[in-house]
Amino acid sequence: QLQLVESGGGLVQPGGSLRLSCAASEFTFDYYAIGWFRQAPGKEREGVSCIGSSDGSTYYADSVKGRFTISRDNAKNTVYLHMNSLKPEDTAGYYCALRDGSLTRNALEYHYWGQGTQVTVSS
């Protein structure tokens, strides 16, 4: 059964950086679109960034554009979310998700989800 495992979260000061990883246990990983979502307590889940399966197309939420970069290494079945210039409002649980289809920011269209990794931005 396909599994997704996130890592790389932690506590960082405002302005700092983190790199989140999402590792998939699926040898045909490169056929899937991957999305990163986040959810803070009391807030709705937000689509942060997504990357397509074949053409490398990407999507970024306006709130992270210019600060976050998504990338994938199909040889390692891993997608990364590089987060720079972190702000306290980036604090949330971050989840990666996978779908067999084209890129979309709609969380309801993703079929598999990881358990999440916590990112806390605080001084």
Condensed to tens digits (0 to 9), the pLDDT of residues 25-50 reads 866 777 889 999 999 999 999 999 99
Q: Give me the mean pLDDT over the 79-98 stretch.
A: 97
Question: Looking at the DSSP assignment, which residues form a beta bridge with residue 78?
Answer: 23, 73
Q: Hunting for tokens 């999440």 — which residue is that?
A: 116
pLDDT at 101 over 90: no
pLDDT at 107 over 90: yes
> Which residue type, as a one-letter code, is found at position 4?
L
C-alpha torsion angle, residues 24, 106, 16, 10 (rounded to 10): -50
CA nearest neighbour of 53 among 33, 73, 76, 81: 33
Q: Calculate what percentage of the chain has a pLDDT beyond 90.
A: 82
